[in-house]
Homo-oligomer: A and B are copies of this chain.
Amino acid sequence: MSLKYALLGFLNYKSMTGYQLKQVFDESVRNFWHASLSQIYPTLSHMKDDGLLTLEVKYQDSSPNAKIYHITDSGRAELQNWLIEPMEPAQHRNAFLIKIFFGANIDKALIISQLNHRLELAENNLSKYQQIRSKMTENHFSENALTLFESLTVDFGIKNMEAVIAWYKESIEKIESIK
């Protein structure tokens, strides 16, 4: 369960509500980690039970009471341990490659159009990531440890999109050239 560690990471920077954590997720790590509110809320509550967080309730008239979570020493230790301890690379499943693997079963034009669709999406993603990266450079991001690491995750996205874009293009050509 890495959601736990991502939550600890953000709460280590600043105490927040589940709702705010969702926003922070969506602004920063959405491209490689996403979590819904209906997953965040019970996870926070469970982490509180485990002593990783404490809860401060802020009473409000207009909205339901906001539950502000604070990281505890125990939570900080848990985060540290997770960051320090090496973990084996996850074996990602790729359903699209299953489709490609069995691609000979359908008309090649139908595969090519799916590849083209994904090529377009990947090109959009790439330019989105490149824009994020440019802004980081403008803002003198990645000149200190704190921001360097954030910029590396964007670089990962860029490298990845470049690789899949090249693969989409080559694959389309190869499939077109076969009789």
Contact = CB atoms under 8 A, between A and B. Distances in A.
A19 interface: no
Question: How many monomers of this protein are in the complex?
Answer: 2
A87 to B, nearest CB: 7
Q: Is the interface of A mostly helix, strand, loop or mixed?
A: helix
Q: Which of A96, A110, A166, A174 has the most CB of B within 10 A?
A: A96
A142 interface: yes
A5 B9 CA distance: 38
Interface in A112-140: 113-114, 117-118, 121
Interface of A: 2, 5-6, 9, 12, 28-29, 32-34, 79-80, 82-84, 86-87, 89-106, 108, 110, 113-114, 117-118, 121, 142, 144-146, 148-150, 152-153, 155-156, 159-160, 162-164, 166-167, 170-171, 174-175, 178
